[in-house]
A and B are shown apart, each in its own frame.
Chain A
Amino acid sequence: MQNININNISEMLSKDERILLIELAKNKTTNFTTLENNLKWEYAKISRNVLWLENKQIVKIFTKKTESYVLTKRGEEVITKGLPERRLFDYLLKNKNISLKSVGDIGLNEAECNIAIGILKKYNIINIENNMGAILIKLKSSDDSRIKAIEKLINLIKDNIKIDENKVKEVKEVLNRLVEKKIIDDKEIVMTDIGKKVYQIIKSENIDTIEIITSEILKNNSWKYKKFRKYDIKAPVPPMQLGRYHPLVNVMNMVMDAFIAMGFEEMEGPWVETAFWDMDSMFIPQDHPARDVQDTFYLNKYGKLPNAELVKKVKEIQENGYDTGSVGYQNKWDEETAKELLLRTHSTPSTFKSLYKGVNNPTKMFSIGRVFRNENLDKTHLAEFHQIEGFVLADDLNLRNLMGYLKEFYSLLGIKNIKFKPTYNPYTEPSMEVLYYHTHFKKWVEIANSGIFRPEALRPYNINANVLGWGLALERLAMIIYDIKDIREILGHECKIDFIQNYHYPKL
């Protein structure tokens, strides 16, 4: 503390901070309400300046838990409308006596009526008389001092002014529904030793320092004769808005960079496809469960098939294996089923359309695009997501090469620890799931599916080379990178702009 330069601090004080400090010096401790009353500043302004003084170690803030009375909802109503007994009393002052039936005319509801009559009777201000069945209320006394006492109490409570506990207890019955006890944080501001020293300096000082440097000040040379107020350069600053890439696009670009670095060319495909390109073209059987309406968005419309020769080959391969050495699915293949329009369930149609159009040997290609599944929407499922897909076509590619590419691909994305598990896909064999070790969950988590394309899947396109492929969900990767639990936070209109503007550099 000895090292703190008191002069330096005093030079950092803004005009408002000085005013506040002078006010604080009047008492040993001060609370916010007192400051509001004495300085006539808004609460926000006081709290801001107190915080700055606290940062400069001029004041300390103590939070005391105190029990205090606050108004209930009904109490707040009374503040605007008046106490029911007051309203009835004022009315009686003008009219002397009224029938019970007409009490409603004052605008009191039944409950309020009962309260008002009960209290006024208790105060001995009115009499109730039965005049041949009609009940009359008569004013007996015009002394409203007891009503006034209650009103005073309520107003004090409203203004958060401490009141004598005993006074409340006296009229407990009347106040019962209007006020309640609450534990509140009462903040007290106390000047520190530093604060007291700073105060000694500033109290006699002429406060005429330069606040913000303006072109005006530069033009009129006034800066030559005045001091600059020193800023508290450690003080926090308000946040700002900025333009920003969507976090998912950021990961998309990371993935794209990895593919391009490995020599892959980009490809794309449309969202609406025929079942032929989505399924049949790659040896997915026509009774495959994924083709159910349950899982796929069908449009109840039909499209056209590509050239007849290709369709014939696909049909024969599915039915009996054609000349691939396979027995096929030994199931009748229906052309109409292949014509059904759907929203693509994966991005692999792009791969097979590329093979159909013809590619060089060797070729490496990738795509990143949306795919659609007929799902109920929840934390982990949307009916659409982005699929990342890559394939390598070359002579003599084998399973070790597939593992090699996957290891390299994930290592470029920052995922070093992966392992492989055998699995089943209709158009690849062998097929492998890729798992990586999630350091947060402390377990192995699936991140991709991969495999060597089956001979039956390649035969229609007259491809003799080997094709390796893999696919993964972009959202899944992004959720790992940004540590997100709900997919709706990363895709769709519900994404928080706050997150889009403030996410950190993607890193694994």
Chain B
Amino acid sequence: MTILEINRKRLKELINKELNINELEEIFFDMGMELDKYDKEMLYIDITPDRPDMLSDEGLARAIRYYLEIDKFKDYKFEDSGVEIFVDKKVEAVRPYIGAFIAKNLKMNKGKLNDIIETQEKLHGTFCRNRKSAAIGIYPLDKIMPPLYYTAESPNKISFKPLNTDIVMTGFEILEKHEKGIKYGFLLKNAKEYPLLIDSKKNILSMPPIINSGLIGKVDESTENVIVEVTGITESRVEQLINILSAMFADIGAKIYTIKTNYEKYIKVYPSMKQNSIELSNDYVKKVLGLNIELKEIEKLLARMGYKVTKINKEENKVELVVPFYRADVLHEIDIVDDIARAYKLSNIKPEIPAVSTFGNSLRKTKVTEFIRTLLVGMGFTEALTLALTNTKYQYDNMNIEAKDTKDIINIPEAKAKEINTIRTWILPELIRALKANESFGIPIKLFEINDVCAKDDRTETNYKNITKLSVIITNQQATFTDIKQILNMLMNILNVKYIVEEQIHSSFIEGRSGCINIKDKNNKEHKDIGIIGEISPNVLENFAWRYPIAAFEINIEPFINLI
């Protein structure tokens, strides 16, 4: 979610129309944005990540002007500046692409400067993937001597005064000490050489994508002419971003001039202003939206979304159109059809259920678990639904189990919630936690959960699988082996499954009062050790600080699914 903050007066100026909050809210809604909140001065608008071109006051206003038919398709024309950038092969290993343009006569003021910086930061956080895929630099043109050189240098040889400091720093020092270096240093983590943009006088403009020079890389309220530059690891992203920025600067009122980037093998001119021409068939529109719209109307709807229709072909029932160069989200005709729906307004489209005949059903496993659920509820058990994400402390340590002996254990290394470091392999410990969290409820408590856990399985693509287990727990002044075996016995009888409990030592249970559960299927085939039953060891109870006896069993129900 990216919020664009825009001054209400400014928006009114930009779209040349006074709109009240209800009208604005409706327009934003229909276009696919959301008025998150507003006050007397500002609007806070939630913009979806596919529309980086709307992340500036100008970009948003441009879209609204088209939508409200205040503007018709505008052709942007940029002249050649004559400025060139020469790209050193060395950048290929770290950040291979660069594009730039010049914007003159900005008529800069404090508000404008703030807006530009804000848009830059919003784009960095979203479309640029935290500066990873692309990063923007803006410089005062008048302090720079073209041509420019984009190269890479080993960090200890780099030395300049970065923005917002008075100290000369090396590349290393910037990453270690400078605020921006600390924040974005991870982008150069494995790089032997750091990218560097310099002018013909060998003055450093910046060390992309981290920081500009404080000397010739600082734009302020008096800056009238700027170079806007984008470096990145994907050429398409650099190109799209330059296009978006040039449209924005042009809408601010600046005059835009192109800059030539000289790679070793080819030359590219930025902004590319690449405008795709697309043929859109009205049959396709009808197929996707289920609407019969006349070509004339289609043309109008497209214009309201900023497209230019260049030809209407009535015979073949299609239109030819141009996608504006600042749109980065149009990958396929389907994206244009989507825009037509937005202009048409979703609330004008009538829902309709088609005649598609199929039969519904649940999985056999769902039916079996549901059956078991009814039995346990009938026996007076309350169903719990505990979390799958948990901690090895509960799953193993507290249960007297050596975690390293458990082959199924899954480490979750980077959980934001400190509590989480694993995913459960059994449910019982989580049920004991549920008891503990319900201490004030009193006793007796009878709980069960029938749900999934994770287990190792070398036959899958991931080496893991889910298995469904049933865990049943009784706690009271007394809770004996007999109490819990009664439940198991009842269940097995009703499910018509032959079973035996064989003595087995398990460190979570009292020795001599626990056993593993073996069952036999219809063909007399044995499934061994599919569960464990017994009285919980006082040690375990102590670990969970639970003062009443617990008897419990946990059983894998997968073998039952085809058995009953």
Q: Which residues of A contact B (CB under 8 A)?
A: 241-246, 248-249, 253, 256, 259-268, 270-274, 277, 287, 289, 293-294, 297-301, 303-306, 321, 324-332, 341, 343, 362-364, 370, 372, 374-377, 382-384, 392, 394, 396-401, 403-408, 419-424, 429-432, 452, 454-456, 491-498, 500-501
Other A-B contacts than A287-B132, A341-B464, A383-B416, 14 sampled, CB-CB below 8 A, are: A266-B361, A270-B466, A271-B466, A287-B133, A289-B129, A306-B461, A370-B388, A399-B288, A401-B290, A405-B353, A429-B338, A454-B332, A493-B436, A497-B434
**Would B346 and A432 count as touching, CB distance under 8 A?**
yes
Q: Which residues of A contact B430 (CB under 8 A)?
A: 493
- Per-residue A-contact encoding for B543-556, CB less than 8 Å = 1, 0 else: 00000000000000
Q: Which residues of A contact B352 (CB under 8 A)?
A: 400-401, 403-404
Task: Kindly provide the distance from the CB of A206 to the nearest chain B CB, expressed in whole angstroms.
Answer: 41
Q: Which A-chain residue is minimally distant from B376 (CB atoms)?
A: A243
**Would B346 and A500 count as touching, CB distance under 8 A?**
no
Bound Cα distance A294, B414 (Å)? 8
**Would A256 and B362 count as touching, CB distance under 8 A?**
yes
A424 and B32 in contact, given A246-B383, A300-B413, A500-B384 (Cβ under 8 angstroms):
yes
**Would A421 and B378 count as touching, CB distance under 8 A?**
no
**Would A384 and B387 count as touching, CB distance under 8 A?**
yes
> Which of B14-22, B190-198, B417-425 is near enough to bind chain A?
B417-425
A422 and B356 in contact, given A287-B132, A299-B410, A492-B386 (Cβ under 8 angstroms):
no
**Would A265 and B373 count as touching, CB distance under 8 A?**
no
Bound Cα distance A289, B1 (Å)? 11
For residue B291, CB closer than 8 A to chain A, the reply is yes
B361 contacts which of A265, A420, A421, A424 (Cβ < 8 Å)?
A: A265
**Would B354 and A422 count as touching, CB distance under 8 A?**
no
Give the top 8 A-B pairs by smallest Cβ distance, nearest first. Answer: A398-B290, A403-B351, A260-B360, A330-B236, A422-B32, A400-B290, A404-B353, A326-B332
Can you list 19 A-B contacts with CB-CB less than 8 angstroms, sorted by A residue number? A241-B444, A246-B382, A260-B362, A270-B466, A271-B464, A271-B466, A304-B461, A331-B234, A383-B389, A399-B288, A399-B341, A403-B351, A406-B351, A420-B346, A422-B341, A430-B338, A493-B430, A496-B441, A498-B441
Task: Kindly provide the distance from the CB of A356 to the nearest chain B CB, expressed in whole angstroms.
Answer: 12
A396 and B287 in contact, given A249-B373, A419-B347, A454-B332 (Cβ under 8 angstroms):
yes
For residue B117, CB closer than 8 A to chain A, the reply is no
A398 and B288 in contact, given A377-B419, A491-B387, A496-B438 (Cβ under 8 angstroms):
yes
**Would A341 and B462 count as touching, CB distance under 8 A?**
yes
Q: Which residues of B contact A265 (CB under 8 A)?
A: 358-361
Task: Kindly provide the distance from the CB of B544 to the nearest chain A CB, expressed in whole angstroms.
Answer: 11
Bound Cα distance A262, B355 (Å)? 11
Q: Which B-chain residue is minimally distant from A373 (CB atoms)?
A: B416
Q: Which B-chain residue is minimally distant from A339 (CB atoms)?
A: B461
For residue B50, CB closer than 8 A to chain A, the reply is yes
**Would A494 and B437 count as touching, CB distance under 8 A?**
yes
**Would B331 and A327 count as touching, CB distance under 8 A?**
yes
Within 8 A of A (CB), among B324-346: 329, 331-335, 337-338, 341-342, 346
A268 contacts which of B287, B332, B363 (Cβ < 8 Å)?
A: B363
**Would B385 and A423 count as touching, CB distance under 8 A?**
no
**Would B454 and A272 count as touching, CB distance under 8 A?**
yes
Q: Which residues of B contact A241 (CB under 8 A)?
A: 380, 382, 444
For residue B411, CB closer than 8 A to chain A, the reply is yes
Task: Kindly provide the distance from the CB of B330 to the nearest chain A CB, expressed in whole angstroms.
Answer: 8
A400 and B360 in contact, given A274-B462, A321-B331, A456-B331 (Cβ under 8 angstroms):
no
B415 contacts which of A374, A421, A432, A500 (Cβ < 8 Å)?
A: A374
**Would B342 and A422 count as touching, CB distance under 8 A?**
yes
For residue B469, CB closer than 8 A to chain A, the reply is no
Q: Which residues of B contact A396 (CB under 8 A)?
A: 287, 354
A429 and B334 in contact, given A271-B423, A492-B387 (Cβ under 8 angstroms):
yes
Q: Which residues of A contact B423 (CB under 8 A)?
A: 271-272, 343
For residue B523, CB closer than 8 A to chain A, the reply is no
Q: Which residues of A contact B463 (CB under 8 A)?
A: 301, 303
**Would A271 and B452 count as touching, CB distance under 8 A?**
yes
Bound Cα distance A407, B349 (Å)? 13
Bound Cα distance A361, B378 (Å)? 41
Within 8 A of A (CB), among B415-470: 415-417, 419-420, 423, 430-431, 433-434, 436-438, 441, 444-447, 452, 454, 460-466
Bound Cα distance A247, B379 (Å)? 18
**Would B462 and A325 count as touching, CB distance under 8 A?**
no
- Per-residue A-contact encoding for B166-194, CB less than 8 Å = 1, 0 else: 00000000000000000000000000000
Q: Which residues of B contact A492 (CB under 8 A)?
A: 385-387
Q: Which residues of B contact A372 (CB under 8 A)?
A: 388-389
B462 contacts which of A272, A375, A454 (Cβ < 8 Å)?
A: A272
For residue B412, CB closer than 8 A to chain A, the reply is yes
Bound Cα distance A400, B388 (Å)? 38
A400 and B289 in contact, given A324-B332, A370-B452, A405-B353 (Cβ under 8 angstroms):
yes
A376 and B417 in contact, given A398-B288, A493-B434 (Cβ under 8 angstroms):
yes
Bound Cα distance A447, B383 (Å)? 26
**Would B461 and A303 count as touching, CB distance under 8 A?**
yes
Q: Which residues of A contact B288 (CB under 8 A)?
A: 398-399, 430, 452
For residue B49, CB closer than 8 A to chain A, the reply is yes
**Most chain B C-beta atoms within 10 Å of own C-beta, residue among A273, A374, A419:** A374
Q: Which residues of B contact A246 (CB under 8 A)?
A: 382-385
**Would A493 and B386 count as touching, CB distance under 8 A?**
yes
For residue B480, CB closer than 8 A to chain A, the reply is no
For residue B350, CB closer than 8 A to chain A, the reply is yes
**Would B236 and A331 count as touching, CB distance under 8 A?**
yes
A274 contacts which of B237, B341, B461 (Cβ < 8 Å)?
A: B461
For residue B154, CB closer than 8 A to chain A, the reply is no
Bound Cα distance A419, B347 (Å)? 7
**Would B379 and A243 count as touching, CB distance under 8 A?**
yes
For residue B31, CB closer than 8 A to chain A, the reply is yes
**Most chain A C-beta atoms within 10 Å of own C-beta, residue among B335, B356, B436:** B356
Task: Kindly provide the distance from the CB of A458 to the nearest chain B CB, expressed in whole angstroms.
Answer: 11
For residue B126, CB closer than 8 A to chain A, the reply is yes
**Would B332 and A422 count as touching, CB distance under 8 A?**
no
Q: Which residues of B contact A267 (CB under 8 A)?
A: 363
Q: Which residues of A contact B416 (CB under 8 A)?
A: 294, 374-376, 383
Bound Cα distance A270, B452 (Å)? 9
